[in-house]
């Protein structure tokens, strides 16, 4: 799916993030499975990640991020009429985490649902919010992306354990006077779903189900390096932009080697690329908003900055968004 924004300008007016307090370093992981700090950093670029406490669920880490986004936008929770939460680790299948969050935040008039698109979830979710807002079905939206993948990892499986961390981010989206989203490119390949899957987690029964994430790292790496480049290239071309026009590149933080490949292939200068996988690992749907928060903290999200977002993940799914950043509330 590929398309450019039409008519009403829709932008991000508030941003908030939150990660658990617990830091798990590579050295600490080496006490759990056969690995080392050097081995992990060389293959992934990760040196530490955040891990949710035993009594922390998704909504516990998403709630502070949502509140921060609302405060940043200067918006009352009751004024949100659409809430979508991108996650593969909800508190439970139902009631949805989005409904629980809407109730806790005080959004009695909001439509609320969870969205499952793997690590691409946040990009899918902002595209859906854009569509709701641009069509006039919604006036103001809250998009949350977050996961607590530590809850569904096999803590004896080095191939997945070293990669993932927990975290959440949220944005407020609404009509703006200038800038805003220029277009989206989204896609999925269920034929590659066998390379990153969560057996025993739904209505498809397995003979000996193991409720842990399974991954074919080699195949996922090949997929990621391909779609991170193709998706970004397609949305730039569709919007009449080039790599030279991009001010800030925010890729999904899956693996530093994947990011380095995409940057080199696209021709985006490393200094325009946001990388925080070293501090957080792969936080799935929380990855891009966490990176956006770092970009803003560094002063890169100035008015008019052209920001390219690209994600990929389980499904297999991928997606890109191009947005002209605007600071401040609409007049």
| Nearest alpha-carbon partner for 14 in 134, 91, 126 | 126
pLDDT at 199: 86
Strands (E), 26-139: 48-51, 82-86, 111-115
Nearest to 177 by CA among 1, 23, 324, 31: 324
Report, as ranges of residue numbers, the positions in the chain whose pLDDT lies below 50: none
Active site residue 252: yes
**pTM listed for this prediction:** 0.96
Q: How many CA atoms lie within 13 A of 294 on its CB side?
A: 21
CA distance to 112, 272, 287, per residue, from 250 (Å): 27, 9, 9
Structure tokens at 290: 């966490």
The length of the chain is 331
Place of tokens 């998704």: 58
Query: For the segment 125-169, what is each residue's pLDDT rounded down to a tens digit?
Result: 999 999 999 999 999 999 999 999 999 999 999 989 999 999 999
Please state at what angle helix 37-44 crosses helix 256-266, rounded to 10 degrees.
Answer: 30
Asked if 287 and 119 touch (Cβ cutoff 8 Å), the reply is yes
Catalytic residue among 18, 26, 85, 282: 282
pLDDT at 200 (0 to 100): 81
Of residues 18, 85, 119, 255, which has the active-site annotation?
119
Question: How far is 192 from 240, CA to CA, in rounded Å?
Answer: 31
How many CA within 13 A on the CB side of residue 221?
14
- The Cα 211–Cα 152 span in angstroms is 7
Report the pLDDT value the prediction gives residue 115, as an integer from 0 to 100: 98
**Range list of β-strands (E), the chain:** 2-4, 10-18, 22-25, 48-51, 82-86, 111-115, 141-148, 166-175, 180-188, 196-197, 214-215, 248-251, 306-313, 317-324
Annotation says 282 is catalytic: yes
119 is catalytic: yes
What single DSSP character describes residue 238? H
Residue ranges with strand state E in 26-104: 48-51, 82-86
The count of other CB atoms within 10 Å of the CB of residue 198 is: 18
Domains of the chain: 1-331 (3.40.47.10)
Check 18, 85, 239, 252 and give the catalytic one: 252
pLDDT attached to residue 208? 60
For residue 201, what pLDDT is reported? 85
* Per-residue pLDDT at 198: 87
Buried b vs exposed e over 296-328: b needs ≥16 C-beta within 10 Å? beeebbeeebbbbbbbbbbbbbbbbbbbbbbee
């Amino acid at each position: 799916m590929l398309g450019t924004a039409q008519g009403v300008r829709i932008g991000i007016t508030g941003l908030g993030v939150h990660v658990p307090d617990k830091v798990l370093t590579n050295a600490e992981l080496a006490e759990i499975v056969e690995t080392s700090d050097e081995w992990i950093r060389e293959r992934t670029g990760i040196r530490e990640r955040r891990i949710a406490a035993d009594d922390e669920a998704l909504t516990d880490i998403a709630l502070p991020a949502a509140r921060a986004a609302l405060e940043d936008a200067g918006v009352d929770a009751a004024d949100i009429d659409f809430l979508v939460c991108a996650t593969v680790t909800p508190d439970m299948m139902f009631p949805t985490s989005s409904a629980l969050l809407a109730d806790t935040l005080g959004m009695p008039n909001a439509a609320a649902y969870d969205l499952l698109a793997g690590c691409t979830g946040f990009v899918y979710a902002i595209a859906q919010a854009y569509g709701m807002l641009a069509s006039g079905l919604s006036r103001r939206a809250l998009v949350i992306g977050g996961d607590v993948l530590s809850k569904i990892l096999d803590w004896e499986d080095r191939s997945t354990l070293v990669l993932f961390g927990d975290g959440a981010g949220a944005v407020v989206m609404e009509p703006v006077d200038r800038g805003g989203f220029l277009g989206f490119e989204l896609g999925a390949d269920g034929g590659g779903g066998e390379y990153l899957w969560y057996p025993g987690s739904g209505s498809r029964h397995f003979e000996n189900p193991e409720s842990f994430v399974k991954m074919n790292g080699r195949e996922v790496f090949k997929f990621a390096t391909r779609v991170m480049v193709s998706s970004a290239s397609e949305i730039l071309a569709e919007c009449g932009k080039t790599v030279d026009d991009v001010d800030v590149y925010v890729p999904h933080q899956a693996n530093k080697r994947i990011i380095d490949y995409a940057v080199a292939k696209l021709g985006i200068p490393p200094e325009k690329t946001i990388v925080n996988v070293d501090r957080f690992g792969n936080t799935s749907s929380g990855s891009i908003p966490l990176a956006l928060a770092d970009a803003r903290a560094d002063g890169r999200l100035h008015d008019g900055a052209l920001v390219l977002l690209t994600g990929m993940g389980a499904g297999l799914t991928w997606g890109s968004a191009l947005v002209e950043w605007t600071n401040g509330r609409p007049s």
